[in-house]
Amino acid sequence: MAVSEVLREGARRLEALAVAGAGDESARLWARLTGQTVGEVWLRRDGDAGPELRERFLTAVERWAGGEPAAYATGRAGFRTLELETDRRALIPRPETEGLVEHVLDWGRRREPAGDWGAALDVGTGTGCIALSLAVEGRFGRVVATDVSADALALARGNAALVAPPLPVEFRRGSLFEPVAGESFDVIVSNPPYVTGGEFKRLDVGVRCYEPRGALVSGEDGLEHIRGLLEGAGTHLAAHGLLALEVDCTRAEAAAALARRAGWREVRLEPDVFGRLRYLLTTKELER
């Protein structure tokens, strides 16, 4: 069966479920499933879809129309240069987090334009998107990724096998800095949970009902994990190293205040692609 026929079948099913713009949505789901752009889908629409891919696509159509996020329905998510497997074991990678990676890469380029950038630690790796991007795009000599969830780590290891980065990523299980006791890194980066329980109840149903609560909720004030990172990073960050955290834009100033109270002398907040304060960055050592 040609791709164009499968796309029409997907559109018919979406129309039957009263989905607006069924044809466009069908093409977008096929593009996500196959790792193509929508333009590439139309250029290749006369090609053979194959029975296995057709069934995967039609299953994804039904799941997406039922409210499941497209990344979970198709099992695929793009992140920077990577195509990753994605399911309910970990948070779906967001465009905002791509910006966090860019800040780390910018730091490395400025600090050591031609040489080795040292060691990087990704705390709470989820799908592995941050750690794998650093291993692919950066010039680190070592990348370690941790997560408290064994399921998330299994997904991240699968993505590492899929991406096959030139620098192998070390995966370890544990909370915050427990898996790296006694070790030091030139970069510590994290996209931690940062919403409150009350906020979680008001999130979009596609997030609230499908994405792991533990990857989103961080105590009563939404700052529990950030507080732990700020208090623990000093003993694991090398001199002049970078601490880079993604934070909730509504609590960015509160997070910066926590950093200063924890002893970080130079703290700055940077906006994401939508102009919202999203990244907390500091490169100074803690005051002793």
HEC string of the chain equals CEHHHHHHHHHHHHHHCCCCCHHHHHHHHHHHHHCCCHHHHHHCCCCECCHHHHHHHHHHHHHHHCCCCHHHHHCEEEECCEEEECCCCCCCCCHHHHHHHHHHHHHHHHHCCCCCCCEEEEECCCCCHHHHHHHHHCCCCEEEEEECCHHHHHHHHHHHHHHCCCCCEEEEECCCCHHHCCCCEEEEEECCCCECHHHHHCCCHHHHCCCCHHHCECCCCCCHHHHHHHHHHHHCEEEEEEEEEECCHHHHHHHHHHHHHCCECCCEEEECCCCCEEEEEECCCECC
The confidence score (pLDDT) of residue 28 equals 92
pTM for this model (two decimals): 0.90
User: At residue 212, what is the residue type?
Assistant: P
Phi, psi of 277 (to 5 degrees): -60, 120
The confidence score (pLDDT) of residue 284 equals 61
Q: Which residues of the chain are modeled with pLDDT < 70?
A: 284-288
The confidence score (pLDDT) of residue 288 equals 44
The confidence score (pLDDT) of residue 285 equals 62
Phi, psi of 15 (to 5 degrees): -60, -40
Query: What class has domain 81-282?
Result: alpha beta
The confidence score (pLDDT) of residue 35 equals 87
The confidence score (pLDDT) of residue 11 equals 94
Residues 6+ apart with CB under 8 A from 61: 10, 13, 14, 26, 29, 73
Contact 159, 132 (CB under 8 A): yes
